[in-house]
């Protein structure tokens, strides 16, 4: 519109006859007079030659008070001199200057003026007048400044919060976040909200978008991000807020847009402390169970060793004396037999009795993770790499978790000892789980020296070991414990060859009705 007005005025100023020129100017001035914007025309010295009614309303000056006066009448000292220099340099070169000035009304009130100034040229291309469109944007400036200040204050408050906060729209896009959230995004290399909602969706068995809708508002849920030593834990809270649409079409029938505020509070330190306590308790209870099994196996072995000679003596007495057991010169043998029976009875009474662990739902993958965590220090000291290949959709299994944990630890410990004893350059252990028909299979493979085929069953016998007798810490009862625990769960365990070069311990546990969750 500015260009159209400029073109019309220049045409009027360049008319060949004064009458036509005056008529066109009057028509143009009538048009400018009715414009809703404040408009003025000044000569080359910036003296007013025309102002419209809206200009008088904005400045408080009547036309008679402005005509012939200089535009500097409106200027206020707080406008930097450099702004005026830029203005005159632009319009003096025929350019169109747009900018803001701090002006003063007739009553002394300051206001922020948004101006657009351009030169009017004659037929020779010389600038003869300047036309400006003038708007008081003080209220707009105040509103924008207040909004910017409020945004800055909100961001300042959010940035000082010790938790990560993000505002997400219905398209799962981040609209607003704080410094703590930006730090997490940098740490993880991806959106923390996407990671959190992805985990929540998996738990709810829904997509991330559905998780927003279905999760109870204001409730907390926990997530884990990262792996190994870099794993971090967060407590998350999700709440919604409804905002009215700002589009023109929303004026009469407002559209309500739903947003979600998600907060992530890091609880890694507390969680690690809890994990350390839990791991210490697992180590203690597992070591206690191992010691119990070892003592039990040792007593059983002692009873077995004593029972053999006693059976020989008893058979000899039966042969020499018959059923009466009364025969000359065998009192010593009889005394020895009675002492042997007394010793066996005493050993049997000394057998420790372990409290029966109730059957419960067992997450086999969780047990594997726990055992590998308990063994992490031994693995690190021996430079052994342990890899996990676990079936993420493995169903739960009804069993005795502490007993199964002991069995798995014995297999891991045996693999570590085999690699250590074998002195192989390759030092790897692979632990895997999978579902085969109605059974859960757990395998532990190592790169040790392996076990000869004819010994793959014998190694499960008490006190038998493939390692030398002087091998420190070798009691020869570990695999017999595995055999006992697996048998208690109606499973099977066996050793096989493996591509790692050592051997593979394979446990098969029947799911039975557990696969159907019955």
Q: Tokens in use for 433?
A: 């789980």
With residue 280 as reference, give the H or E element that holds it.
helix 268-321
My answer on whether 184 and 98 are in the same domain is no
My answer on whether 508 and 373 are in the same domain is yes
145 in any annotated domain: no
Q: Supply the CATH number for residue 404's domain.
A: 3.30.565.10
My answer on whether 364 and 343 are in the same domain is no
- Domain span holding position 490: 360-516
My answer on whether 396 and 504 are in the same domain is yes
My answer on whether 185 and 317 are in the same domain is no
Helix, strand, coil tally for the chain in percent (to 5): 50, 25, 30
| In the block, residue with structure tokens 């119990």 | 292
Q: Which of 234, 266, 298 is the last residue of a domain?
A: 266
d(CA 330, CA 398): 56
My answer on whether 364 and 324 are in the same domain is no
Q: Which residues of 140-165 are buried (b: 16+ CB within 10 A; e: fewer)?
A: eeeeeeeeeeeeeeeeeebeeeebbb
My answer on whether 301 and 384 are in the same domain is no
Spell out the SS3 assignment of 407-441.
HHHHHHHHHHHHHHHHCCCCCEEEEEEEEECCEEE
CA 356 to chain centroid? 40
Q: Which of 327, 350, 373 is the last residue of a domain?
A: 350
My answer on whether 311 and 416 are in the same domain is no
pTM tops 0.85: no
My answer on whether 258 and 170 are in the same domain is yes
CA 491 to chain centroid? 38
151 in any annotated domain: no
d(CA 218, CA 177): 19
141 in any annotated domain: no
* β-strands 110-121, 127-136 pairing: antiparallel
- Total domain count, the chain: 4
508 in any annotated domain: yes
Closest by CA to 69, choosing from 49, 47, 50, 53, is 47
With residue 343 as reference, give the H or E element that holds it.
helix 331-350
pLDDT in tens, the chain (518 residues): 556 566 656 665 565 555 455 666 677 777 778 788 899 999 999 999 999 999 999 999 999 999 999 999 999 989 999 999 999 999 988 899 999 999 999 999 999 999 999 988 888 888 888 999 999 999 999 999 998 898 888 888 888 888 999 998 888 889 889 999 999 888 888 888 888 888 887 777 777 666 677 777 777 888 888 776 678 888 888 888 888 877 777 778 888 888 889 999 888 888 778 777 877 777 787 777 777 767 766 776 777 777 777 777 777 777 766 655 566 556 666 777 777 777 777 777 766 666 677 888 889 998 888 888 888 888 888 888 999 999 888 888 889 888 888 889 888 888 888 888 877 788 899 999 999 888 999 999 988 887 666 555 555 555 455 555 444 444 445 577 788 888 888 998 888 888 888 888 889 999 864 443 34
410 in any annotated domain: yes
Q: Supply the CATH number for residue 217's domain.
A: 3.30.450
My answer on whether 372 and 472 are in the same domain is yes
Helices (H), ranges, 131-267: 138-160, 179-188, 192-204, 208-214
């Amino acid at each position: 519109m500015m260009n159209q007005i400029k073109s019309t005025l220049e045409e009027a100023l360049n008319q060949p006859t004064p009458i036509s020129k005056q008529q066109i100017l009057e028509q143009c001035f009538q048009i400018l007079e009715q414009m809703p914007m404040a408009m003025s025309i000044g000569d080359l010295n910036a003296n007013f030659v025309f102002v419209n009614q809206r200009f008088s309303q904005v400045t408080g000056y009547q036309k008679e008070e402005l005509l012939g006066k200089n535009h500097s009448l409106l200027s206020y000292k707080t406008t930097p001199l450099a702004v005026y220099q830029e203005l005159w340099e632009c319009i003096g070169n025929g350019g169109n200057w747009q900018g803001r000035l701090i002006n003063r009304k007739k009553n002394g009130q300051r206001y922020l003026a948004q101006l657009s100034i351009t030169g009017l040229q004659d037929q020779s291309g010389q600038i003869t007048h300047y036309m400006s469109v003038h708007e008081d944007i003080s209220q707009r400036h105040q509103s924008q400044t207040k909004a910017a200040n409020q945004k800055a204050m909100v961001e300042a408050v959010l940035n000082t919060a010790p938790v990560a906060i993000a505002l997400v729209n219905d398209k799962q896009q981040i609209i607003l976040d704080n410094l703590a959230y930006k730090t997490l995004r940098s740490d993880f290399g991806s959106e923390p909200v996407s990671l959190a909602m992805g985990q929540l969706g998996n738990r709810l068995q829904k997509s991330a978008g559905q998780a927003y809708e279905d999760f109870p508002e204001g409730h907390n849920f926990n997530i884990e991000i990262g792996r190994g030593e870099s794993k971090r834990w967060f407590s998350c809270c999700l709440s919604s807020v409804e905002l009215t649409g700002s589009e023109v079409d929303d004026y009469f029938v407002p559209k309500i847009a739903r947003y979600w505020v998600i907060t992530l509070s890091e609880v890694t330190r507390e969680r690690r402390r809890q994990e350390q306590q839990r791991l210490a308790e697992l180590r203690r209870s597992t070591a206690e169970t191992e010691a119990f099994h070892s003592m039990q196996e040792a007593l059983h072995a002692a009873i077995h060793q004593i029972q053999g000679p006693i059976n020989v003596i008893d058979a000899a007495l039966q042969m020499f004396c018959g059923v009466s057991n009364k025969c000359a010169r065998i009192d010593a043998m009889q005394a020895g037999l009675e002492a042997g029976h007394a010793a066996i009875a005493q050993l049997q009474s000394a057998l420790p009795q372990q409290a029966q662990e109730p059957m419960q739902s067992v997450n086999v993958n969780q047990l594997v993770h726990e055992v590998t965590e308990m063994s992490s220090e031994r693995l690190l000291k021996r430079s052994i790499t342990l890899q996990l290949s676990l079936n993420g959709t493995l169903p739960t299994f009804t069993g005795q978790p502490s007993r199964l944990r002991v069995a798995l630890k014995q297999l891991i410990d045996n693999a570590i000892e085999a690699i250590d004893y074998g002195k192989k350059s390759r030092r790897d252990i692979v632990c895997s789980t999978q579902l085969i028909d109605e059974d859960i299979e757990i395998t532990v493979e190592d790169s040790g020296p392996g076990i000869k085929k004819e010994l793959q069953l014998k190694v499960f016998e008490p006190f038998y070991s493939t390692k030398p007798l002087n091998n420190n810490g070798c009691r020869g009862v570990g695999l017999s414990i595995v055999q006992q625990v697996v048998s208690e769960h109606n499973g099977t365990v066996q050793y096989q060859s493996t591509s790692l070069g050592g051997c593979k311990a394979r446990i098969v546990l029947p799911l039975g009705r557990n696969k159907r969750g019955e």
